[in-house]
Amino acid sequence: MIGALVAMALALCVIGVGAIAMVTGVVSEKAGDGCVLIACAAGTLVGSRIAVRRRKKNALFTAAGVATMVAMVLAVSGVLFYGEVSVGRCFVVGGACLCGGGLAGVIGGGEGSKRRV
């Protein structure tokens, strides 16, 4: 649960920084979609890494669970705030979240069995 909260907080911070950069004119408005995808992937990577460190077994499933929670919260909040959100956009955001979580699951696997030589 802590991993999902960290992932959402980081994703929202990155989205906020991207929005401020667009408003001030540092980046163009076309970069908005990319900013959201990067925020989802980075937030989920960090949050899933925290969750995997806390629970060593089944690292990939733990990271995928965090990624799914983040993707669902973002999809539901998009529907609540904007009224209509295309299904394709939800799938793209979900894919970005799953990529970040999957990477954390692959990187942060358990220590494995110790070999005796």
Per-block mean pLDDT, blocks of 10 residues, the chain (117 long): 83 85 85 83 88 82 87 81 76 86 80 59
Q: Please answer whether residues 97 and 44 qualify as being in contact, where contact means their C-beta atoms are separated by less than 8 angstroms.
A: yes
CA atoms of 88 and 20, how far apart (whole Å):
26
Q: Indicate yes or no: pTM above 0.85.
A: no
- The answer to whether the beta carbons of residues 4 and 47 sit under 8 Å apart is yes
Residue carrying structure tokens 């069995």:
113
Alpha-carbon distance values, 10 to 28, 49, 97 (Å): 22, 13, 12
**35: its two tokens:** 């900013």
| Tokens linked to 9 | 């907080």
